[in-house]
Amino acid sequence: MLEFRSVRASIGIIEILRDLDFRVDASDTLALIGRNGAGKTTLLRSIMGFTRVTGEIRFDGTRLDSVPPPKRPGLGIGYSPEDRRLFSAFTVEENILLPAQAARIDGAETRRRLARVYEILPELRDMAARPAGNVSGGQGKMVALGRALMSGTRLVMLDEPFQGLAPALAQRYAAALRALRDADKTITLIITESNPALLRGFANRTLVIERGEVSEGSLEPAGTGA
């Protein structure tokens, strides 16, 4: 469903993504693991079209370079950036609805998707009318997840969602991801993390990114050596 062919990204003379070649199948839960600065965020941003790349990224057979970045969510791609970027003067529900409006999804479909978001994240319904500026950092992560689900009917990308979450909220967040997986077996999830232990037992596939290079990996605890 998602395929990278010889994808490179450079900033100035520095290569940030080096010759990426991999595919992700529909219904995969992919852990993208790498330490700070490895290129995780740049890779997700390249799918959204926020980072210029050479090579080909294909999504459901479509070359993404033929789709302007603002149109990509309309393909069924949802993205929750590492800095949540909620609009604090808007309510929680208005923030969740933004991608649907941006993608010009009609009213009936928007209501259907919002109902799905509230089914998976019922706590958002209770916060719906609150200004997004008044929710805690952890709650804001839930709002950002709900917002990503509004456009992410095919692919949901979550950039270090567990970063900075207190243990109880991290568990709640993981439970929401399991509910999403149970509700929709065909959706593809890409979750980045610097700590592989957090995604153990959750992801069915792991890619490791190191200095902009991607290789197959595993979430199992390392044995001896590095």
Ligand X SMILES: Nc1ncnc2c1ncn2[C@@H]1O[C@H](COP(=O)(O)OP(=O)(O)O)[C@@H](O)[C@H]1O
Residues that bind ligand X (CB under 6 A): 11, 16, 34, 36-42
Q: What part of residues 11-40 is at the interface with Mg ion (CB under 5 A)?
A: 40
Q: Least distance from C-beta 116 to Mg ion, angstroms?
A: 28
CB of 42 to Mg ion, least distance (A): 8
Q: Is 41 in the site for Mg ion (CB under 5 A)?
A: yes
Name which of Mg ion, ligand X, none residue 39 binds, using a CB cut-off of 5 to 8 Å depending on partner kind: ligand X
Per DSSP, the three-state class of 8 is strand
Q: Which is nearer to Mg ion, 83 or 220 (CB)?
A: 83
**Residues ≥6 apart with Cβ < 8 Å to 81:** 41, 44, 144, 159
Q: Is 102 exposed, middle or buried (0-12, 13-18, 19+ CB in 10 A)?
A: middle
Three-class HEC string of 78-124: EEECCCCCCCCCCEHHHHHHHHHHHCCCCHHHHHHHHHHHHHHCHHH
Cβ closest to ligand X, residue 57 vs residue 127: 57
Closer CB to ligand X, 96 or 207, in the complex: 207
Min CB(40)–Mg ion separation in Å: 5
Q: Please state the closest distance from residue 78 (CB atom) to Mg ion, in A.
A: 17
